[in-house]
Chain A
Amino acid sequence: MSSDLIQSYAGAFHAVAAAEGMLVVVEEELFRFGQALEANDALLSVLSDPSVPVARRQQVVEDLLGGQASPATLGLVSLAVGAGHGAELPEIVRALVERSAASRNHAVAEVRSAVALTADQTTRLAAAITAATGKAVEIKVVIDPSVLGGLVTQIGDTVIDGSVRHRLNQVREAIA
């Protein structure tokens, strides 16, 4: 899928969510769903497999998000899967999140952590990132057990890795 098409879908998602007055909710739900897709190759494969009937793929989406997400989110995901763009959903969601943050004059900081952050930690982390980079950011936390401990923060192309996994890798490289 071309970058233009991804941006078009992201723009359409953003417009629909804004029109429904549920931009923040839809954005968050889509972000979680995108993370789940990236972490689950089998699910991503089913949703992007053209040999699986569209109705079956959309039923899978309904089974996953029905009762768990807003009707707007469910409808947008179902739309993309029905159009044969299930494989591009993570990219579309990422573009949507960046577009939404940009509309609020923020950048997106994707933070990976082994455990969930408290609201206070999230707020202080956003302030710390702003202080360090000079950019106002919106935090998107991804729970990633492989981080082991600490945090990995990515803002655009900048990565600040303060994870235990990174420290252990440094120890291994130093010893080897």
Chain B
Amino acid sequence: MNGLSLRILASEAAHNSFYGNKDELIWGIASFLIIFAVFIWKGVPVVKKAAAARSQRISDEIANAEADKADAEAELKTLTSSLGNAAADAEAVVAEAVARVETVKVDLLARVEADVEASKQRARIEIEASKQQAFADLQAEVAAMTVTATNAVVIENLTDAVKSDLIEQFITQLGATR
């Protein structure tokens, strides 16, 4: 088609007038129309097909994007829901931990109080035992000192005369026993 146009232009240049030859004009128009018709006949469907394909591709991509978007939204919803459950679980775990801590605290306090009471009881018993032991030791010491002093006083006063008197008392008392 370009070759034909060049020939027409060359012919026009030979006649040296823009509208110099009527036949050429007619042939030119006819050629144009033919070319245009061929273009409409062959080119337009191709263009339409290409445009339809492109349109289809764009529609598909839009549909895919919509699907992706829906998926993403669903995923987001799931994740949001999961987050909501995780928060609830976390709260439950924390609540349970707090409850357990409270129970352990109560148990520990009770145990500590029992231990303290037992220690106090043991201390009371030990103090009482120590007191009684000290009293017994003191009593024994006083008794020993008393006995020692008594022995010393008695022995010091046991003269021969006293010993003789004691023998006489024994004989008298024994003789009086019947």
Q: Which residues of A contact B (CB under 8 A)?
A: 113-115, 117, 121, 124-125, 127-129, 131-132, 148-151, 153, 160, 162, 164, 168, 171-172, 175-176
Which one of A125, A168, A172, A176 contacts B171 once the chains associate, using CB atoms below 8 Å? Answer: A125
Set of chain B residues within 8 Å of A129, measured between Cβ atoms: 174
Set of chain B residues within 8 Å of A153, measured between Cβ atoms: 174
Which one of B158, B173, B175 contacts A164 once the chains associate, using CB atoms below 8 Å? Answer: B158
| Most B Cβ at <10 Å: residue of A149, A160, A176 | A149
Q: When A124-B175, A131-B177 are in contact, do A151 and B147 touch as well, CB less than 8 Å?
A: no
B158 with A128: CB separation less than 8 A: no
Please measure, in the bound complex, the distance between the C-alpha atom of A164 and the C-alpha atom of B170, giving whole angstroms: 11
Question: Taking CB as reference atom, which chain A residue is nearest B158?
Answer: A149
Question: Taking CB as reference atom, which chain A residue is nearest B147?
Answer: A172
Q: Which residues of B contact A (CB under 8 A)?
A: 140, 142-143, 146-147, 150-151, 154-155, 158, 160, 162-164, 166-175, 177-178
Q: What DSSP secondary structure best describes chain B's contact surface?
A: helix
Please measure, in the bound complex, the distance between the C-alpha atom of A58 and the C-alpha atom of B166, giving whole angstroms: 41
Set of chain A residues within 8 Å of B146, measured between Cβ atoms: 175
Q: Which 7 A-B pairs have the closest CB atoms?
A: A128-B175, A175-B143, A162-B170, A128-B174, A150-B166, A172-B147, A132-B177
A168 with B143: CB separation less than 8 A: no
A150 with B167: CB separation less than 8 A: yes
Please measure, in the bound complex, the distance between the C-alpha atom of A148 and the C-alpha atom of B156, giving whole angstroms: 11
A162 with B163: CB separation less than 8 A: no
What are 25 A-B pairs with beta-carbon distances under 8 A? A114-B163, A115-B160, A115-B163, A121-B167, A121-B171, A125-B170, A125-B171, A127-B175, A128-B171, A128-B172, A131-B178, A132-B175, A132-B178, A148-B154, A148-B155, A148-B158, A149-B162, A149-B163, A150-B169, A164-B154, A168-B150, A171-B147, A172-B143, A175-B142, A176-B140
